[in-house]
């Protein structure tokens, strides 16, 4: 079996680091195409180097731009690549980025079957570009590789039961694969001077926070009211939109960090504040309370017993949520669907239904 995997953004590189070895072990030939959606070295090449992902066969180098421009460029260049490299049995897509949407549209129009990892995830908020990308990719996919039973139920409600398989969460695979290695290669003392459980960790990059007037000001104001230092690896997109936003004295702005360093920072934090979908899950699995800087989440399981709380960009809600302790136990790491073997399940599904 020969497949083309399309990746373009930091979370997709992490997922590929878990899935690609399983594909190779199953005897599947994988050709990786990097769209260049994330092109900054700190958000791209470092992940291939650090996580041992096979180098991309092709980089489409699309760079940044509006949703329409970026998606259109990916479609144009990916179509040209697939014309030059025919005979793929499948196109494998991850998550919900513009790379996902473009890959789905191009593959569908070339009659190449699509495998969508993280199918069925829904925030039910169509103002999120990611939600639109997920829905379109799911509608066009032959293999709907769902990470949770909630995702399976969402697909069933949309009439997409056919082709749906509950494989588990590949992000859990990656967390289990790399958490111990992160502690060895990037111990906390090499990352920050703060002791474990004495600092908060924050990431913010979504347009709903960076592009809406007042949201960044409110978030940073809330961070300044918390009684601990906050480590904030700043996404280039956020840095470009800071403008007059005042950075409180307890907030330490650092450059984007590699995946292993991020796992170390999550593990040592007393609280994570983020608008990232992946960090919500990683915090939950690693036993760290999380505040989601959004009004919705595609991972409702993390909300159990207050391990994750939705606060949006509301200053008071952020502070209140960050200072609140979970009210009950979380599920142990290995009890999530798939138990950390989602990657092998994906390879098996592809081979059995070829």
Exposure of 173 in the CB half-sphere (CA atoms within 13 A): 24
DSSP state of 2: E
- Alpha carbon of 58 to those of 8, 61, 82, 136, 347: distances in Å? 11, 9, 11, 25, 22
CA 246 to chain centroid, in Å, comes to 28
**Bridge partners of 308?**
290
- Alpha carbon of 339 to those of 146, 154, 169, 297: distances in Å? 14, 21, 8, 22
Residue 205 a catalytic site member? yes
Q: How far apart are the first and last CA of the chain?
A: 8
- Alpha carbon of 248 to those of 15, 74, 94, 104, 230: distances in Å? 34, 39, 36, 42, 10
d(CA 264, CA 284): 14
CB distance 25 to 52 below 8 Å: no
Residue closest to 82 by CA, chosen among 13, 6, 185: 6
State which H helix or E strand residue 71 sits in: helix 67-84
Q: Which two tokens stand for residue 211?
A: 């592009």
Catalytic residue among 34, 38, 194, 205: 205
CB distance 244 to 137 below 8 Å: no
Residue closest to 202 by CA, chosen among 224, 172, 181, 169: 224
CA 153 to chain centroid, in Å, comes to 21
- Provide the annotated active-site residues: 205
């Amino acid at each position: 079996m020969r497949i083309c995997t399309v990746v373009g953004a930091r979370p997709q590189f992490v997922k590929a680091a878990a899935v690609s070895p399983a594909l190779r072990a199953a005897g599947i030939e994988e050709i990786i195409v990097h769209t260049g959606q994330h092109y900054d070295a700190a958000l791209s090449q470092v992940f291939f180097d650090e996580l041992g992902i096979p180098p991309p066969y092709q980089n489409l180098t699309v760079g940044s731009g509006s949703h329409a421009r970026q998606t259109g460029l990916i479609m144009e260049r990916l179509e040209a690549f697939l014309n030059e490299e025919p005979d793929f049995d499948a196109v494998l897509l991850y998550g919900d980025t513009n790379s996902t949407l473009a890959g789905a549209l191009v593959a569908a129009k070339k009659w190449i079957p699509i495998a969508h990892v993280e199918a069925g995830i829904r925030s039910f908020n169509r103002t999120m570009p990611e939600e639109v990308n997920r829905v379109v990719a799911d509608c066009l996919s032959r293999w709907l590789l769902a990470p949770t039973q909630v995702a399976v139920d969402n697909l069933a409600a949309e009439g997409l039961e056919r082709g749906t398989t509950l494989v588990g969460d590949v992000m859990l695979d990656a967390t289990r694969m790399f958490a111990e290695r992160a502690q060895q290669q990037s111990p906390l003392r090499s990352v920050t001077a703060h002791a474990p459980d004495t600092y908060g960790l924050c990431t913010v990059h979504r347009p709903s926070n960076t592009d809406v007037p007042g949201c960044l000001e409110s978030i940073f104001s809330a961070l300044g009211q918390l009684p601990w230092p906050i480590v904030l690896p700043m996404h280039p997109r956020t840095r470009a939109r800071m403008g007059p936003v005042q950075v409180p004295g307890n907030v330490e702005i650092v450059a984007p960090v590699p995946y292993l360093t991020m796992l170390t920072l999550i593990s040592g934090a007393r609280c994570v504040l983020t608008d990232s979908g992946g960090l919500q899950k990683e915090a939950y699995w690693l036993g760290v309370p999380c505040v989601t800087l959004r009004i919705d989440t595609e991972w409702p399981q993390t909300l159990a017993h207050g391990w994750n709380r939705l606060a949006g960009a509301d200053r008071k809600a952020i502070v209140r949520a960050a200072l609140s302790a979970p009210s009950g136990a979380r599920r142990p790491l290995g009890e999530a669907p798939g138990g950390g073997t989602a990657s092998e399940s994906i390879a098996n599904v592809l081979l059995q239904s070829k």
